[in-house]
Structure 1
Amino acid sequence: MSAINLMTPDAIRERLEEIKALEARHAARDLDAELGAALRAGGDLDALETAQLEAERQARRLRVERAALTAELPEAIKRDGTERVATLIDTHDGLAKVAKAKADAVADAWAAFKTAVAEWVDLQDEATAITRKAVAICEETGASMKVLGTFQSHRLVEIIMENRDTWRGLGSAESPLNTLRGPQGQRID
């Protein structure tokens, strides 16, 4: 038998079930009836008593083992939980390294994005100024012109509409995960 303090919860539960079956089998024996039958049949009483004493010794050992296993089960469950949580913590720590790299990538992409948006806005401002000048000339001279104005991009509208949840995802960079243990979060930068 292995040391109880090294057993897994499942191994303890399995052994408790085995002990339960063995104890039930022992409890079903009628030792006095066995002794009486041996007396009537002229059997070897000493050998029977020795076997019965051994059965009683084994039953006592099973009771003690059951008590020890029952007492150890909560600790085994805690050990098992600690090991499982340690594995998850290691996985989470690995994710933290990846998250730092992703945050850096988002920050870099954000700078490029802001530059492109600023250039888009400048382009729109320039188009607006040109349109105003053209309209003023047409009003002054009676000339005609095609429709000018700002530029419309169906593709940009689609990108904005399709990526509304992206902004929520970026918002989670600061909002902590609320668990039963309270707000949780790990600062990566």
Structure 2
Amino acid sequence: MFLQKLKAITTFIFDVDGVLTNGDILASESGEFLRSFNIKDGYALQLAVKKGYWVCIISGGSGEGMRRRFAGLGIENAYLGVSDKVKVFEEYLLANSINRAEVLYMGDDIPDYKVMQLVGLPTCPADAVEEIKAISTYISPLPGGKCAARDVIEKVLKIQGRWFDENPDASDAAK
């Protein structure tokens, strides 16, 4: 059943803090919140975009650094500072004619709970909270910010025969 779900995925949606980062936030003297992203997650994200998958970010967090990171990876749909993830999720699917069964969502904490119940493949990092693990079809063996996102993207692209990039640009994940 899990493998069949991987074959149907056309869309990846990710939370940020605790999924694409380890959940730590560094508060700078200027008041900006800084996050650390994994370069290998970045490679997988930009590859999914290049291969034609829908890639979307829905996060309660925000910041110019996040916007630049996602834009550099080619992610056009980054919804930051979101208070109602379900509303943004439903609007995104409607605007792009995406079927819920084709969506893989990775979340890690209670704000992701409701939207994860609406997708075809709810997933989470190894260090997600217990409530999220309980509703996840797949729990990555990797923690947030340490290639959990790459893990699920790689699984989908490999089972669909689309993982390897014959002509990678060494700077793709570093943008």
Q: TM-score, normalised by structure 1?
A: 0.19
- Rg: which structure is higher? 1
**Structure with greater contact order relative to length (CA < 8 Å, sep ≥ 6):** 2
**Larger helix proportion of the pair:** 1
* TM-score of the two chains, using structure 2 as the length reference: 0.20
Specify which structure has the higher proportion of strand: 2
